[in-house]
Amino acid sequence: MVSLAASAILLSGCSGAKKQAQVVPVDAAGPGGEEPPASVATTTATVAPTLPTTVPSTTTTLPPAVGAAGNLNIVRELSSGMNGDDVKAVEQRLTDLRFSPGPVDGRFDAKTGQAVLSFQKQTGLPRTSKVNAATATRMNTAGFGPPMVADGNADRVEVDLSRQVLQIWRGGQLFRVLGVSTGTGKRYCDRTETGKRVCGIATTPTGRFDFSRRIPGKRKSELGILLDPVYFTGGYAVHGSPSVPATPASHGCIRIPLWESKFFFNEVPLRTQMIVIKDGAPPVPTLAAPVVGPPPVSTTLAPATTVPPATTPTTRPTTTTRPPLLAPTTSTTRPRGAIVPPL
């Protein structure tokens, strides 16, 4: 990385919140505005050893396996601020599908809306944060599909930049799905409180990494405030943010909802595998019907129930007998008549 000018530095960041006064050295800085070496070591040395032992035993039990279909019967479009049994049913279904709508209490609050948005991101539906007939139908038929990668570790975190979703896998089973907001891919130039300009390209790196360090609580970086950041390469981290929209909006880090940051911090130990991909990933969860369905659908069309009624096989045996009778007559007569004219 090189500086643009005396008053500007190149840096990748991940939060548009309040800036801090400290300027991070360009060559050592990552998207979270941190120095991976000594300066961070003193901050995280006492935290790292506790990581593998901080997983709450109450959250390690997976919800019941999801069946092939739900029983949502939505007769009105559900959105923020609404209450009722239909909202409660949606919250329960999202919970069963490993999303995080908060308490199943029949109140469509910010957590419910974010979980609905995450489900829509995951399944390719319009990202509205509302539950209409199409979203309810998809929830009813949704089930667990394959992971984003086939050869990942049993315990891992996967992020799809295209769909803007993060998946936590534990023991080879889907444990939690969170909506995220990643780097915009655009160039930016922000000014810090000291007046310096910080410029860079807001990209989120793809590839395979391991979570290497983390900082509890708020972390002030050159580009903003990160809540409970867990770093997977350089200064790039998964961290809580008050803004997790439907599209990429960060400077490069991976934003998750504020209320999920402590959960992620506690549930993802250091050295957990982190896989970031873009495009080409199968949706998860996918429709239960498509996972088992496409074959059945194509199989039904293949036998083509309409074809047997056409009695094609029954008629062909008859036509198979007729050609032999007609063939000798036709082939004997026509060849003679056909050969004479040319000659």
> Among this protein's residues, is 189 annotated catalytic?
no
pLDDT tens digits along 16-61:
333 333 333 323 345 555 433 333 332 333 333 333 333 343 444 5
Q: What is the pLDDT of residue 280?
A: 55
Closest by CA position to 84, among listed 112, 64, 63: 112
pLDDT at 337 over 80: no
pLDDT reported for residue 221? 84
**Largest interatomic CA distance in the chain:** 104
Q: Are 238 and 226 in contact (CB under 8 A)?
A: no
Mean pLDDT of 203-223: 94
For position 29, what pLDDT does the model report?
43
Of the listed ranges 74-78, 179-183, 324-328, the least confidently predicted one is: 324-328
φ/ψ of residue 207, rounded to 5: 135, -165
Task: State the pLDDT at residue 14.
Answer: 57
**Position 221: which residue type?**
S
What confidence score (pLDDT) does residue 220 get?
87
Q: What is the pLDDT of residue 193?
A: 76
pLDDT band at 66 (very low <50, low <70, confident <90, very high): low
Catalytic residue among 14, 189, 199, 239: 239
Per-residue DSSP letter, 111 = H
Residue 253 annotated as catalytic: yes
Q: Is the pTM of this model over 0.85?
A: no
How do residues 120-132 score in pLDDT, each as one tens digit?
999 999 999 999 9
Cβ proximity of 123 and 142 under 8 Å: yes
Closest to 196 measured CA to CA, from 17, 23, 16, 11: 23
pLDDT in tens, 149-205: 989 999 999 999 999 999 999 999 999 999 999 999 999 999 887 888 999 999 999
Length of the chain, please?
A: 343
What percent helix, strand, coil does the chain show, rounded to 5?
A: 30, 25, 45
Residue that wins the pLDDT comparison between 126 and 286: 126
Residue of 267 and 288 predicted with greater confidence: 267
Domains, the chain: 8-56+151-290 (2.40.440.10), 85-141 (1.10.101.10)
Q: Do 68 and 286 meet the contact criterion of CB atoms below 8 Å apart?
A: no
Q: What is the pLDDT of residues 221-230, one digit of tens each?
A: 888 899 999 9
